[in-house]
Structure 1
Amino acid sequence: MADETPYYAPEELRSLGCVFVGRRVQVSRLARFYGFRGKLGDHTRIDDFVILKGHVDIGCFVHISSYCLLGGTAGRITFGDFSTTAAYVGIYTASDDYSSPLLTNSVVPDDLKRGVTGDVSVGKGVVIGAHCVVLPNATIGDCATIGATCIINGDFEPGSVYVTGAGRPQLIGWRDVDSVKAVQAEAMQRLQRGEI
């Protein structure tokens, strides 16, 4: 029976809101779905204690590590192929304005609070380190790497490498995007040939 495995079966994932489930998808039965509607590409892996809410589309060969929150309740979160998160990453499409003279939190009526909403785009081959927070309207370009504990707000260029310095992301270098994309293309060709 399907419930004897540590992973949801494809039909169970469809009943939880997945409009597309790729091949060899592994989603832990300890992951939770709330109002989810999204896609899970081939070879996607989602570990224990991940929470998926709202609109989330995940490409091929994507790994979402334990204790991550993907909150697509006020916009869409999109993960490109070959991207990954370390543990405890939070990605949000809605956030309150903490400097506002109004109230904050999700149970307060909308007319009594002020917030920011927007989509989040994670490009292909992106690495997001442990304990990062990705805020609404963030765009992380292909092959960007973001070290642990960064707050990601705005646009991060393709191939950029960031670490946390004095509480803010600091650009420290660049990845060879063409080389990374060549390896990605090889992996996709192997997938199409049925080798992986």
Structure 2
Amino acid sequence: MSGFYSKTEQKKLGLKKIGRDCKISKLSRFISKDIIIGDRCRIDDDVVFKGKIQLGNNIHIARGCTLSGGEKGIILDDFAALSNFVQVFTSTDHYTSNSIPSATLNKKNQRKFSNIISKSIKIGKSVLVGSFSVILPGCKLEDFSSVAAHCIVYDKVKKGNFLNTNNVNKTLKSRDYKNMQKKIKNLNKQFK
């Protein structure tokens, strides 16, 4: 780790809000300022924030993640964690359409020649996303769900479910989310 910004340095980042007791790496990058960070969050080296992003409390974003919220936005609820190099995109070109990639086109030509998918993303309470996974536009990872490493997530993951798209595209196991809810309740009592 490169070291973390002090509270004074955090204020100079110009973000909408940064909560109490946050650890933000000096090697993280904030391309936009439309970002809200809750209390006790940790953001590691080489994390990139772009667009509209809202982090709840006790969020961990590990090294090398990209959160590209665009205009639609990304919300991470309390106690969620993104492992190393997770990529979260609220906008992408439509890969199966007969359109031109949009990255080098102006807005007018994007509308005319490209097919861009833009939808918000919601990552629920106590969700864990494994390393190198990609979260695509419109995904909703419900509370207490988890995603294995190297997965491409393009749909909803139901509450308490574990998703592994590496071998088969189905839910393999459910997590004991009721027990997890109790643990979070006990933790929150400590923070008051």
Q: For residue 122 of structure 1, what is the aligned residue in structure 2?
A: 123
State the 4+ residue runs in structure 1 displaced beyond 4 angstroms: none
* TM-score (norm. length: structure 2): 0.92
> Matched residues in 2 for 1:74 and 1:55: separation?
6
Deviation for aligned residue 1:17: 4.0
The alignment partner of 2:72 has SS state of strand
The alignment partner of 2:117 has SS state of strand
> Could you list the per-position Cα deviations for residues 96-130 of structure 1 after superposition, in whole angstroms to 9, with x for gaps in the alignment?
01222221132213222111001100000000001
Identical columns (%): 26
Count of aligned positions = 187
Q: For residue 36 of structure 1, what is the aligned residue in structure 2?
A: 33
> Matched residues in 1 for 2:134 and 2:10: separation?
26
Q: For residue 184 of structure 1, what is the aligned residue in structure 2?
A: 184
Deviation for aligned residue 1:140: 0.2
Contact residue 150 and residue 166 of structure 2 kept, 8 A: no
> Matched residues in 1 for 2:11 and 2:91: separation?
25
One-letter amino acid matched to 2:71: A
Q: For residue 100 of structure 1, what is the aligned residue in structure 2?
A: 97
> Matched residues in 1 for 2:81 and 2:24: separation?
14
1:175 is the counterpart of 2:172: no
Q: For residue 163 of structure 1, what is the aligned residue in structure 2?
A: 164
> Matched residues in 1 for 2:139 and 2:9: separation?
31
Deviation for aligned residue 1:189: 1.0
Deviation for aligned residue 1:11: 4.3
Deviation for aligned residue 1:8: 1.9
Q: How does 1:5-154 map to 2 (within 5 A)?
A: 6-109=3-106, 110-111=110-111, 112-154=113-155
What is the root-mean-square deviation of aligned Cα atoms in Å? 1.5
Which structure has more strand as a fraction of its residues?
Answer: 1
**Segment of structure 1 superposing worse, 152-161 or 99-108:** 99-108
The alignment partner of 1:190 has SS state of helix
The alignment partner of 2:184 has SS state of helix
> Matched residues in 2 for 1:161 and 1:136: separation?
19
Contact residue 17 and residue 38 of structure 1 kept, 8 A: no
> Matched residues in 2 for 1:182 and 1:154: separation?
28
> Matched residues in 1 for 2:147 and 2:21: separation?
27
**Segment of structure 1 superposing worse, 62-71 or 95-104:** 95-104
Gaps of 5+ in 1: none
> Matched residues in 2 for 1:11 and 1:41: separation?
16
* TM-score (norm. length: structure 1): 0.90
> Could you list the per-position Cα deviations for residues 105-164 of structure 1 after superposition, in whole angstroms to 9, with x for gaps in the alignment?
322132221110011000000000011100011000000011011111121101001123
One-letter amino acid matched to 1:54: G
